[in-house]
Amino acid sequence: MRRTAKIKPKNGFSQFIHWALVSIIPLLLFVLVRLSIVPLAYIVVLLSKWRMFAVRPRHWPANIRANSIDIIVGLSFVVFIAQAPSQAWQLVWVLCYEIWLIIIKPRSAPFWTSIQAGLGQLLGLVALYLLWGSSSLILLVAASWALCYLAARHFFSSYDEPLSSMLSHIWAYIAAALTWVLAHWLLYYGFLAQPVLLLSIIAYSLATLYYLENNDRLSTLIRREILLIMSAVIVVVIMFSDWGDKAV
C-alpha cells in the first residue's frame, strides 16, 4: 500500500501579506511627513510594536528591551525623513528604512545582530544630535547613555556572555563620559557630531574584536592592527579638528 504524502500547509500568502504590511510603514511615514504631521509619524512607529504588550505585564520590560533597537531605528528614520533637504532625499531614507525592515531586522545570526546593534547606536545618536544637539548637556548625556546601553545589550543578546549586563553598563558609562566632555565644545562634520563619530569608531572596533574572538578568528596580529587603526583614527579626528575658540 502506497503511503500518502502529508500535505504541508502553504504559508506563502500569509508571508506575502506580512511583508506587504511591513513595507507600507516607511511609505506611510513619508506621507505623514509630507503632510507636516510628524508627531503622528512617531506614533505610527511606536504603534507598529504593539505586539510587545500582547503578553502579561511582567514580560513587558524584556520585550521593550528586545525591540528597543528596532524602535530607535524607526524613530531615527522619521527624524531623517523630516530633516531631509529635498523630496529625493526623503525617498532615499524611505528606501533605507525598507532595507532595514525587510533585510536586516529579521535576521538573528550573531553577525546580523551585531550589524543591527551598530546601526541602532549610530542612527540613534545621529538623530539625537540633529534634534537636540543644542539642548541641555544633561539630556545629551542621559540619551547617549541609554542609546549605547541598549545597543550593547542587543549586541550581546546573541552571545553566551555572562557579563553582558555589566559590559553594557560599562560601555554606556564610557559613552556618557565622552559625551559630557565633548559636548562642551560640540563640533560637527557635516551632519555628524564629533561624539557620534568617536563613539562609532570605538564601538565598531571593540565589537569587531569581540566578534572575531567568539568565532576563533582573532589573532594577535589582527588585534594589534584593529587597535592601532582605531587609535590612529581617533588621534586624527581630535588633532585635526578645527576647535577655534571652543577650546579652553
Q: Which residue has better confidence, 186 or 241?
A: 186
Q: For 138-182, how does the pLDDT look when each residue is reduced to its tens digit (9 = 90+)?
A: 999 999 999 999 999 999 998 988 999 999 999 999 999 999 999
pTM: 0.89
57 pLDDT band (50/70/90 cuts)? confident
Together in a domain, 141 and 88: no
Residue 201 lies in a domain: yes
Q: What angle do CA 233, 115, 96 make, to 5 degrees?
A: 100
Together in a domain, 102 and 177: no
Task: Count structural domains, the chain.
Answer: 2
Together in a domain, 99 and 177: no
Together in a domain, 98 and 171: no
Together in a domain, 78 and 164: no
Instruction: Give residue 188's domain range.
Output: 136-240
Residue 24 lies in a domain: yes
Together in a domain, 98 and 166: no
Find cell 564601538 and name the residue.
203
* Whole-number Å distance between alpha carbons of 155 and 152: 5
Domain boundary among 85, 106, 127: 106
Give CA separation, 128 vs 33, 42, 58, 84, 112, in Å: 18, 14, 30, 15, 24
Q: For 203-239, how does the pLDDT look when each residue is reduced to its tens digit (9 = 90+)?
A: 999 999 999 999 889 999 999 999 999 999 999 988 8
Q: What average pLDDT does range 65-89 have in this prediction?
A: 95
